[in-house]
Amino acid sequence: MRVAIVGTGAIARGSHLPALTALGAGQPLEIVAAVDIDAAAVAAFCTDAGIAHPYTDLGLMLTEQRPDLVTLATPPRFHRDQTVAALRAGAWVWCEKPPCPSLEDFDAIEAAEGPDGAGPYAAIVFQHRFGSGSRHVKDLLGKQAMGRPLVAHCQTTWFRDEAYYSVPWRGTWSSEGGGPSMGHGIHQMDLMLDLLGPWAEIRAMAGRLVHDVETEDVSTALIRFEGGAMATVVNSVLSPDEVSRIRIDCERATVELVHLYGHRNADWRITPAPGVTSEEADAWRDFGPDVPSSHEAQLKGLLADLRAGRRPRSSGADGRKSLELVAALYKAAFTGSTVRAGEIGPGDPFYGALHGNAPGWAPEHRERSAEVPA
């Protein structure tokens, strides 16, 4: 399997390369090339990792190297075009979150995929869905072992300072795609959707309280799920005591995950309701061998799917659902309306851009928004 890494910054070095290296051991997998518009960065990356072919031109790399898999770790504004280019060259793609700046972009990616049952496919990096903890809890919830899920909390309360936002691609709709709802909270919201299934409606608020950015720096939302469960969501980059947290109250137990950037079995807690036997609660708490959530955990499944020609998790509709929720959160927040699943399609201002051209939030309204508190 010939793999190419596109974008050789922090996440490529910190997660893509280690995951590919770990999973490539003993398997016919070779990282044949890396691409970055920064020639010095890609040269250093290739030297450090022992990769033979550095490129500054994605198209040239695709033509010359014909990779089977491209892992994409560039800023979000490039995800659509680079994913489409790789798919058209016959490569599967594993694209970093957030998927791309709009649902319209995502649909263009899906349209470039190969036929079902063959591929190539593009999967989004949502590593928190993977690992033994989320797999076990998804299984318990799927079987309704703890009864129906009723109430949930989904919290991404992180802290990002001015230095973080001094990187040119951050803080703008066109480049980063959104604020913490899109760039940070999408991980927890994706996990919540993976655990609780389809959502039905959302109401939301967004604010720009600290940072001088185009996007929000905090958002809150209320979500009702198709199954009836109701959730609160908080996405913030203003929270000094940082935490990522999901809590789901079911009829017969509360499940809670508390972590920051990744979880292991010990980060999950299951509290039974009165009347549940200790044998049953102990069975729920048996998560099996510890597999931390990680890029490696997701990539392992993706490589197996690639070899088998199967659609991977987190691609197609399964990859789109979190972006749709984020688009709906923005629409609900910026219009003050309740947004229903499936309603944002072509013709809706929030289909082509997550700011939906809303006064005070769209880039062209930025000056006014600086005077009027959001």
Ligand X SMILES: NC(=O)c1ccc[n+]([C@@H]2O[C@H](COP(=O)([O-])OP(=O)(O)OC[C@H]3O[C@@H](n4cnc5c(N)ncnc54)[C@H](O)[C@@H]3O)[C@@H](O)[C@H]2O)c1
Please give the residue ranges that form the binding site for ligand X (CB under 6 A): 6-12, 35-38, 41, 73-76, 78, 96-97, 125, 127, 183
Looking at beta carbons only, is 190 or 249 nearer to ligand X?
190
Nearer to ligand X, 97 or 320 (CB): 97
Q: How many Å apart are CA 257 and CA 286, to the nearest integer?
A: 15
Q: Which is nearer to ligand X, 127 or 315 (CB)?
A: 127
Choice between 99 and 149, CB closer to ligand X: 99
Region of 316 (left: φ > 0; alpha: ψ -120 to 50; beta: rest) is left
- The CB-of-143 to ligand X minimum distance in angstroms stands at 29
Q: Which is nearer to ligand X, 35 or 234 (CB)?
A: 35
Nearest distance in Å: CB 71, ligand X: 10
**Rounded to the nearest whole angstrom, what is the least distance from the CB of residue 9 to ligand X in the complex?**
2
Minimum CB–partner distance for residue 16 and ligand X (Å): 9
At 333, which amino acid appears? A
Smallest distance from ligand X to CB 186, Å: 9
Nearer to ligand X, 42 or 328 (CB): 42
**For residues 48 and 221, what is the distance between their CA atoms, to the nearest angstrom?**
44
Measured between its terminal Cα atoms, the distance across the chain in Å is: 50
HSE-up of 51 (CA within 13 Å, CB side)? 29
CA distances from 90 to 56, 78, 113, 277, 306 (A): 20, 18, 9, 53, 12
At closest approach, how far in Å is the CB of 57 from ligand X? Answer: 9
Return the DSSP state at 310. Answer: P
Instruction: Specify burial of residue 367 (Cβ count, 10 A radius: 0-12, 13-18, 19+).
Output: exposed
Asked if residues 67 and 143 have their Cβ atoms less than 8 Å apart, the reply is: no
* Minimum CB distance to ligand X, residue 124 (Å): 9
Q: How far is the CB of 195 from ligand X (least distance, A)?
A: 18
Residues contacting residue 148 through CB under 8 Å, at least 6 positions apart: 227, 228, 229, 250, 251
Nearest approach in angstroms of CB 38 to ligand X is 4
Nearer of residues 6 and 62 to ligand X, judged by Cβ: 6
| Number of residues in the chain | 374
Based on CB atoms, which residue is closest to ligand X, 108 or 205?
Answer: 108
b/e per residue 4-40 (b: at least 16 CB within 10 A): bbbbbeebbbebbbebbeebeeeeebebbbbbbeeee
What DSSP state is assigned to residue 16? I
Residue 183 or 185 having the CB closest to ligand X: 183
Tell me whether strands 199-207 and 253-259 are parallel, antiparallel or unpaired: unpaired
Element at 308 (helix H, strand E): helix 295-308
Nearer to ligand X, 12 or 358 (CB): 12
Q: Which residue is nearest to ligand X (CB)?
A: 9
- What's the closest the beta carbon of residue 276 comes to ligand X, in angstroms? 35
Question: Pseudo-torsion of CA 139, 314, 110, 300, nearest 10°?
Answer: -120
From the centroid of its chain, how far is CA 336? 25
